[in-house]
A and B are shown apart, each in its own frame.
Chain A
Amino acid sequence: MFRLVNDPIDAGSLRCALVCPEDGAVVIFEGIVRNHARGKGVRYLEYQAYESMALHKIEEIGAHARNEFAIRDIAIVHRLGRLDPGECSVAIVVVAAHRAAAFDACRYAIDAIKKIVPIWKKEFYEDGEIWVEGPT
């Protein structure tokens, strides 16, 4: 399951949708909005995406994770639009027979999302706002 959504992400229901009796491990990663960045208080964030490409890249990451790691399935959901501190911006759920592959696949997926999925966040502070740019 790979999605871009505008509404809050419920990682618990993602987990329930994915886990099967043959699984021995489920690893859930949630990225959440911090209330501080660059030494300033963050009021909220806005995420913008090149949606068609972002979904295509998330699907590629999911397919690669299934091929490279001994996992049974993976779900990735990224939220767009305005998010307040404490809200979940991205959730990854990996299910596998054993924990090592689930941890490895989950780590691979979040690292790849931060490198190749065309999504950008704008941080809004009390005194202004900036687009965050990843490393080149």
Chain B
Amino acid sequence: MSIRVLFFATIADVTGKREMKLDASAHANVASIYSRLAQECPGLEARRASVLCAVNSEFARPDSPVHDGDEVAFFPPVSGG
């Protein structure tokens, strides 16, 4: 299945990109997708404890499922305002 992955702020600096397409396995969840990204971009592993994730613009947990066509975003704790 195909998903769109977005990165913001420090996470985008670590990956060197703002977005990418990813072919994920049928039973993927947020944690498994992050692990796959970390294989290609080892800097992500050190950020695992603090990174936040959203699936289709809603906050998600490591065990949240990801489905075909979903938009998955990884970002650091927010600092707006």
Chain B interfacial residues counted at CB < 8 A: 20
Asked whether, in the complex, the Cβ of B75 is within 8 Å of the Cβ of A50, the reply is: yes
* Bound-complex Cα distance A81 to B45 (A): 29
Which of B2-10, B20-28, B29-37 contacts the other chain?
B2-10
Contacts known (A120-B8, A120-B9, A131-B13); A47 close to B73, Cβ less than 8 A: no
Contacts known (A50-B75, A118-B73); A133 close to B10, Cβ less than 8 A: yes
Closest Cβ of chain A: how far from B77's Cβ, in Å?
4
Contacts known (A50-B8, A120-B8, A120-B9); A132 close to B79, Cβ less than 8 A: yes
A117-136, CB < 8 A from B:
117-122, 131-136
B residues apposed to A, CB below 8 Å:
6, 8-10, 13, 49-50, 52, 54, 57-59, 73, 75-81
Q: A133-B77, A136-B50 are in contact. List 19 more A-B contacts (CB 8 A).
A: A48-B9, A50-B6, A50-B8, A53-B73, A54-B80, A114-B81, A116-B59, A117-B78, A117-B81, A119-B78, A119-B80, A121-B80, A122-B9, A131-B10, A131-B13, A131-B79, A134-B77, A134-B79, A135-B77
